[in-house]
Structure 1
Amino acid sequence: MSTSHRKRRARVRAPELTGRQWLNTGGRTQRLAELRGRFVLLDFWAFCCVNCLHVLDELRPLEREFAEELVTIGVHSPKFEHEADPDALAAAVERYDVEHPVLDDPELATWRDYAVKAWPTLVLVDPEGYVVHEAAGEGHVEALRRILGELVAEHERRGTLHRGAEPRVPAPESDTTLRFPSKVLALDEGTLLVADSARHSLVELAADGETPLRRIGTGSRGRADGDAEFASFSEPGGLTLLPEAVAARAGYDVVVADTVNHLLRGVRLADGAVVTVAGTGAQWRDEPDSGAALRTPLTSPWDVTWWEPAGGVVIAMAGNHTLGLFDPVAGNISRFAGTTVEGLRDGPAAETFLAQPSGLAAASAETDPAGSERLWFVDAETSALRWVEPRDGGFEVRTAIGKGLFDFGHTDGPAADALLQHPLGVAVLPDGTVAICDTYNGAIRRYEPATAEVSTLATGLSEPSGAVTSEGELVVAASAAHRLERPVPPGMTARLIEGGAQRVNRPATEIRAGEVELTVVFEPPPGQKLDERYGPSTRLEVSSSPEDMLVSGAGAGTELSRRLVLAEGYEQGVLHVVAQAASCDDDSAVEHPACRLTRQDWGVPVRIDRGGSDRLPLVMGGLDEQ
């Protein structure tokens, strides 16, 4: 899009920022009016959201490149109740090394003022205080770079650009052995291997869970292979031991989910040597996710576990809402479950909807009451406990606890009525029951497969994120407390909690029953055009929860606009919309133009009202002109 095109548009003044408090500013309130002369990039995020965490990392080089022209401001608009806790937000800003100012927006006031509909959303404000670009989802950094390059030159010519660096005022870091540990693995010798995520390394602790024996990794963010003291990780997560025979052939003992590097790493326990075993280091966008492991991109592998019925390491691929399968001997990787659509839908593994799977635990034939060696996993964004089981020569996914993307709470009792809040870890107890790290409730919950009952084992933990049984005792990574804990004394009786149900504090979009025009707004970045060399350049896929809320308009097509027909009789539901667009450099003289794929997945809560709108615009990149 040309500069002249921008000038013809109606100019929309950016609303002032309002919220509860500011972080990374030394307590100073940051006002847009005081930033005139600079570009301001608003990043609407929530620390539960893996896509938001991707954007934090994507923006780092852009912030360095335009350090004197651009101020990035994170607007934290929480999805879950726990995220509205100011202490939890302060911890998240430290955990994820957020370097720019952050506005705490617990009531979603600024979210509403900017009419945001998705986490994450980026809004670019020019030096005169006008909104000039909006983009939902990930992968927009190159478009922003081109837009900024064009507009910086324009405002420099006009004399409306005033350069200057924005100082950061970070909070002091505490001195603890662990810093935001995410997962823990019991080793055969009785020691514990911990993923020390904010220190980008692994720590082996003695059986007491406190005494450090060795650290694997430099402690600085990186992706180097090699000896224990030279290797590096970036926010490592899940850990799993390979069976002895498999480890002997693979040449390493432990598989590590190197989350922010989008890699799997292998660790040889004898000397701590680290090797990359899967992933390319680039984040998966829409490429094939099956093939040679070292040539196939991954996206935020959050946890891993060896599962015998699948014959490999199952990967909780939080970044694209799937489970992957890695064969460490053959060196191959494949999609195991999920479609990449975020949601809660059971059935054959390849047809299910998952929502940020973040913890895995395999039951053995001895402990599984059904005798089927189920693979348990938690879906964080639907606050769900689910399982995979072999069925008719394939695999099926079932849900034990969970209702959907926008329902959560702390309620015990029959599993059909029970509620969790953003669980990140799971472990199978010796009696076959399932311990759930109910992370945002600060609790350990128990699910009994034989009775489908849910109870609470412990409360008062600081973001329990991973757990393992060691010598019959449950060991929990209390991530925000920076330590391992044993919160369930032997013989403790489970408690029942009559907590309340909660829903996401996110305004639903009001639309009417009957015909509604869905439009995904997308404009190629400056200097690019839609890539139609090999067929249609865009794709749109739509579905709903409940499924029969859509009378027509569901399914996939190539146009970014579509007529939907919504059934009468529904008060609310969720529209699942996945859009993508391919664009390339608009220069016929270039033999190999630079191309990019933009993709976004929305889960839009809708309220169906007779007076609702007959138009639903979703901005993937650009500005909605209506």
Structure 2
Amino acid sequence: MTAETAATAESAADIRRTDRIRASELIGRGWLNTGGKQVTLEDLRGKIVILDFWTFCCINCLHVLDELRPLEERFHDVLVTVGVHSPKFEHEADPDALAAAVERYEIEHPVLDDPNLVTWQAYSARAWPTLVVIDPEGYIAASLSGEGHVAGLTSLVEGLAAEHETKGTLHRGDGPYVPPEPVSRTLRFPGKAVPVTRELGGEGSGVGNFLVADTGHHRIIELKDDLETVVRSWGTGEKGHADGEGSSEGNDAAQFTEPQGLTLLPTELAEQVGYDIVVADTVNHRLRGISTSTGAVTTLVGNGVQRLIDSERVTEAQADELGSLGTDPLSVSLSSPWDVLWSEKTQRVIVAMAGTHQIFAFDPATGELSIWAGTGLEGLSDGDAGEAWFAQTSGLAADAQGDIWIADSETSSLRVLRLGDGYGAAGEKGSPETPYVETIVGEGLFDFGFRDGDPAQARLQHPLGVAALPDGSVLVADTYNGAIRRFHGEHFAADGTTVPAEVSTVARGLKEPSDVLLDSDGATLLVVETNAHELVRIAIPEEYLTVDEGASQTQRPATAVAPGEFSLTVGFAAPTGQKLDDRWGDPTQLKISSSPENLILEGAGNSEGLERTLRLNTEVTEGVLHITARAAACDGAPGEEIPMHAACHLYQQDWGIPVTLEEGADTGLQLDLRGIR
């Protein structure tokens, strides 16, 4: 062993606690990606194991999947990742839905199906995503919450490998992953679609066709009106990022990675900027442009680095503010843009930035990129655009007034950004009217269901698509309910009577519909049925269904806590080679609230530090504590000044912890943002 290797091993040992906790057995309903075999911890002895507690609705979990890929490749002979799928939504407990998600996201490690949260509870997981590192002897080495931990994980795995190589407890070789048999399909998990509404040129192209994000094939296609014939495509079919020239017949050299939303620009603007289609290239964290006449694919916005709230501005008061991000869009970081929409009213491309829970806008004519709504904090909170909270915005549509309707997936809600005359988020309009956000259907991060009727009582389940119809109603692709739902605001009937606002069901029994739009004939709907790998037409019924299968909340074990004074602490240990960034004050922050609001009598709100004393209401018997923790660390050695241009990292996690209030229960709670054992 070299001196450098020995030092790495010593460093890894130094940062771990002396108390050794044996890892719990992996228990669930079954396994995926193992060739049908069960996997035990004994089977994994001698390997470094990362347990990735995830759920397939969660954008942060999807980010972690991508963060882990290079780590898995680099340490393929000593590291085994095990995905522990612990569902948030009812639909995610369906084994067929899980199998489809494992295929869709091209997960190349074993996955334990944990629908009853047995293994989740054994490891005291409280948030998605949570990572637990197990050393080759079967002891827990680290527990991490949230995303952005790859640098720390790399140093930890290096240290564990060096330490256990020396001890003789490291076993190199293949892990238990068995790849599934490939399946050939025309479409593979299509995400979004838009109609071709103007002549685009190219043989076979024409009005009445559809542009489709063939997400699982990492390409964009033009599909004929029969919904089966591919006219042309842009993309190699392999994930990656590559621009390039093509022809009017398409482009088989460019590369995308899991593209989702797309929108068609008006003719004059397209001629001015040199591209017709704007694509949300989701996993590449970019917006791309496609010229249908030349086939050229270009990068419009994004440097490919995932965006986080600026680590130099970690307090809520200093979070990303509305306004322009400049006119050099290729220098700006994005985070999982999920949908894009050309807005006639604003003359901009509106962007659902799922990864930061915000609404952005891009002006193709000037290159200006702006933040239009959302603080970047995850949740459901209405009000002025700059104060609103979103949660994984995934679908966009504009109504006749130009307002923007939003499918806010993680809060299972339908929301609307009312623009009025004050739509200029960068301030150029100068209108006194401030854009604001209004929730039409939805309650919060952990509330969902399948219920029609009064919008205030109606429930959705993780919707991904939305469409505004000419009659003023709005359709929702209610993805996890497998349904198309309809919201119609208060209106007058033919006889002049007032009809109250209501939610109804247009169709159900679909396989994860992720988008819906009105067909060219105006009498049918076109649905992107993602897990059926196809686009389907549905007749608009003369009468809509009224369904009430109830309202639900995410079912997780509740933690018993004592009423009265209650302490909350979030543990954070900066990775080796990093230190807390205290150049602008305390680089840590807690934001705490509760449902119901009166669960916390004192101590709620936002403040610096990772410790807080609360006073819990003795008259409330149960509820949910909502906790957001942040910490900023930069590359540098302890005791040394951080260089001016050092790379900095923001660690953040949101917890929603169900609690019951019981006399004699625990008077404190310890959470780990990044804890090393």
Give the TM-score category using the shorter length.
over 0.9
RMSD after superposition: 2.0
- 1:350-377 alpha-carbon deviations (Å, 9 max, x no partner): 1111111110111123xxxxxxx32111
Q: Once the 2 structures are TM-superposed, how far is the Cα of residue 606 of structure 1 from its aligned partner?
A: 2.9
Distance 1:232 1:564, change over 3 A: same
Distance of 1:3 and 1:578 partners within structure 2: 25
Tell me, yes or no, if structure 1 residue 412 matches structure 2 residue 452.
yes
Tell me, yes or no, if structure 1 residue 274 matches structure 2 residue 325.
no
Alignment of 1:1-150 (within 5 A): 2-6=11-15, 8-150=17-159
The letter of the residue matching 2:575 is P
The letter of the residue matching 2:564 is G
- 1:108-162 alpha-carbon deviations (Å, 9 max, x no partner): 0000000001000000000110001011010101100001111211111111111
2:7 counterpart residue number: none
| 2:280 pairs with one of 243, 254, 257 | 257
| 2:590 pairs with one of 508, 521, 540 | 540
The letter of the residue matching 1:52 is C
Q: Once the 2 structures are TM-superposed, how far is the Cα of residue 308 of structure 1 from its aligned partner?
A: 3.3
- 1:487-507 alpha-carbon deviations (Å, 9 max, x no partner): 2x1444211112122221222
Distance of 1:26 and 1:15 partners within structure 2: 23
- 1:94-120 alpha-carbon deviations (Å, 9 max, x no partner): 000000000000000000000001000
The letter of the residue matching 1:610 is E
- 1:410-457 alpha-carbon deviations (Å, 9 max, x no partner): 111111111111111111123221111010111111110223201111
Q: Once the 2 structures are TM-superposed, how far is the Cα of residue 564 of structure 1 from its aligned partner?
A: 2.1
Tell me, yes or no, if structure 1 residue 334 matches structure 2 residue 370.
yes
Distance 1:491 1:123, change over 3 A: closer
1:436 counterpart residue number: 476
| 1:454 pairs with one of 485, 490, 503 | 503
Tell me, yes or no, if structure 1 residue 206 matches structure 2 residue 224.
yes
Do the aligned partners of 1:78 and 1:505 also contact (CA within 8 Å) in 2? no
Distance of 1:4 and 1:181 partners within structure 2: 47
More deviation, 514-523/583-592: 583-592
Q: Which structure dedicates a bigger proportion of its chain to strand?
A: 1
Distance of 1:590 and 1:623 partners within structure 2: 23
Q: Once the 2 structures are TM-superposed, how far is the Cα of residue 397 of structure 1 from its aligned partner?
A: 0.6
2:417 counterpart residue number: 388
Q: Once the 2 structures are TM-superposed, how far is the Cα of residue 593 of structure 1 from its aligned partner?
A: 8.0
Tell me the SS of whatever aligns to 1:134.
Answer: strand
Do the aligned partners of 1:74 and 1:103 also contact (CA within 8 Å) in 2? yes
Distance 1:564 1:94, change over 3 A: same
Tell me, yes or no, if structure 1 residue 572 matches structure 2 residue 623.
yes
Q: Once the 2 structures are TM-superposed, how far is the Cα of residue 589 of structure 1 from its aligned partner?
A: 10
Give me the TM-score of the superposition, normalised by structure 2. Answer: 0.87
2:212 counterpart residue number: 194
More deviation, 326-335/473-482: 326-335
More deviation, 379-388/489-498: 489-498
Distance 1:578 1:622, change over 3 A: closer
2:342 counterpart residue number: 306
Percent identity, aligned pairs only, is 50
1:596 counterpart residue number: 648
| 1:485 pairs with one of 528, 533, 536 | 536
Tell me the SS of whatever aligns to 1:294.
Answer: helix
1:243 counterpart residue number: 266
2:423 counterpart residue number: none
Tell me the SS of whatever aligns to 1:52.
Answer: helix
1:377 counterpart residue number: 406
Q: Once the 2 structures are TM-superposed, how far is the Cα of residue 548 of structure 1 from its aligned partner?
A: 4.6
Tell me, yes or no, if structure 1 residue 622 matches structure 2 residue 675.
yes
Distance of 2:128 and 2:31 partners within structure 1: 20
Do the aligned partners of 2:627 and 2:655 also contact (CA within 8 Å) in 1? yes
Q: Once the 2 structures are TM-superposed, how far is the Cα of residue 262 of structure 1 from its aligned partner?
A: 0.4
Q: Once the 2 structures are TM-superposed, how far is the Cα of residue 272 of structure 1 from its aligned partner?
A: 2.8
Distance of 1:491 and 1:406 partners within structure 2: 32
Distance 1:375 1:71, change over 3 A: same
Tell me the SS of whatever aligns to 1:53.
Answer: helix
| 2:603 pairs with one of 553, 558, 564 | 553
Q: Once the 2 structures are TM-superposed, how far is the Cα of residue 165 of structure 1 from its aligned partner?
A: 1.4
Do the aligned partners of 2:309 and 2:650 also contact (CA within 8 Å) in 1? no
Distance of 1:341 and 1:208 partners within structure 2: 43
Distance of 1:8 and 1:177 partners within structure 2: 53
| 1:286 pairs with one of 289, 309, 317 | 309
Distance of 1:251 and 1:513 partners within structure 2: 63
Tell me, yes or no, if structure 1 residue 466 matches structure 2 residue 515.
yes
1:425 counterpart residue number: 465
Distance of 1:3 and 1:268 partners within structure 2: 51
The letter of the residue matching 1:205 is L
Do the aligned partners of 2:560 and 2:662 also contact (CA within 8 Å) in 1? no
Do the aligned partners of 1:218 and 1:232 also contact (CA within 8 Å) in 2? yes
Distance 1:256 1:396, change over 3 A: same
Distance 1:206 1:77, change over 3 A: same
Distance of 1:564 and 1:589 partners within structure 2: 35
Tell me the SS of whatever aligns to 2:485.
Answer: strand
| 1:295 pairs with one of 319, 331, 338 | 331
| 1:345 pairs with one of 370, 381, 397 | 381
Distance 1:312 1:466, change over 3 A: same
- 1:452-507 alpha-carbon deviations (Å, 9 max, x no partner): 201111111111001222211311110000000112x1444211112122221222
Distance 1:556 1:158, change over 3 A: same
Distance 1:428 1:579, change over 3 A: same
The letter of the residue matching 1:615 is G
Aligned length: 616
1:369 counterpart residue number: none
Do the aligned partners of 2:632 and 2:650 also contact (CA within 8 Å) in 1? yes
More deviation, 305-314/150-159: 305-314
Tell me the SS of whatever aligns to 1:622.
Answer: strand
Distance of 1:591 and 1:378 partners within structure 2: 42
Distance 1:321 1:569, change over 3 A: farther
The letter of the residue matching 2:443 is K
Tell me the SS of whatever aligns to 2:351.
Answer: strand
Q: Once the 2 structures are TM-superposed, how far is the Cα of residue 613 of structure 1 from its aligned partner?
A: 2.3
Distance 1:246 1:593, change over 3 A: closer
2:485 counterpart residue number: 445
